[in-house]
Structure 1
Amino acid sequence: MENLRHLVRSGAQIAVRVTPKASRNALVPTDDGLRAYVTVVPENGKANAAVTKLLAKSMGIPPSRLTLIRGAGARDKLFQID
């Protein structure tokens, strides 16, 4: 898993492009932000919860510090660290 502790700053915003129903959970850095692959289906917020948990784990912070501020129903999401 990618170590993203260097991104942890209060108020920082992180762009993530999500691919649900992937073969494995993974975070991959790209030029435009991060690419997240999650194994869950995109229904009832399951994929959003999985991405939040994956992102928080790779940053070494609790998931409660991450807020999804844009893209709840889209592939492109924007998270903010509280």
Structure 2
Amino acid sequence: MARPKPSLPPAEAIRALADADGLLPVRVTPNASHEALTVEDGQLRARVTVVPEDGKANKAVIKLVAKALGIAPGTVELVRGATSREKVLKVG
């Protein structure tokens, strides 16, 4: 059975949350029932289905944000929050 496509906001809404240096704060919920990106209360929230071990959830968040922005995952970098739910990504 194919996985459902994740729910993604428009790229413009995500880019509007990043600062001038391209730093994007993200609140992450790992081990969720489905993958989704939402903008709630002026903050980007990511829900990923993988567990938070060995950096798997971080990689899933990077991949999800890159997909929503229409850029390569290699251009999204985790700057802060490797073991926290509150993360900061740098988008290229």
Does the TM-score normalized on the shorter chain lie above 0.5? yes
Whether contact under 8 Å (1:15, 1:32) holds in the other structure is no
Aligned to 1:73: 83
- The 5 Å alignment of 1:20-39 reads 20-39=30-49
Residue in 2 aligned with 1:40? 50
Length, aligned pairs only: 82
Structure 1's 36 and 71: CA in aligned 2 closer, same or farther, altered over 3 A? Answer: same
The question of 1:16 aligning with 2:26 is answered: yes
Give deviations 1:3-53, integer Å, cap 9, x for gaps.
224518883111100000100000010224201000000000000000000
Corresponding residue for residue 70 of structure 2: 60
Q: Extract unaligned runs of 5+ from structure 1.
A: none
Provide TM-score, normalisation by structure 1: 0.89
Root-mean-square deviation (CA, aligned residues, Å) is 1.8
Q: For residues 12 and 44 of structure 2, what CA distance do their matches in structure 1 show? A: 14
What stretches of structure 1 move > 2 A for 4+ residues in a row?
Answer: 8-11
Residue pair 1:27, 1:35 contacting (<8 A) in 2 also: yes
Comparing both chains, which one has the higher relative contact order based on Cα–Cα distances under 8 Å and sequence gaps of 6 or more?
Answer: 1
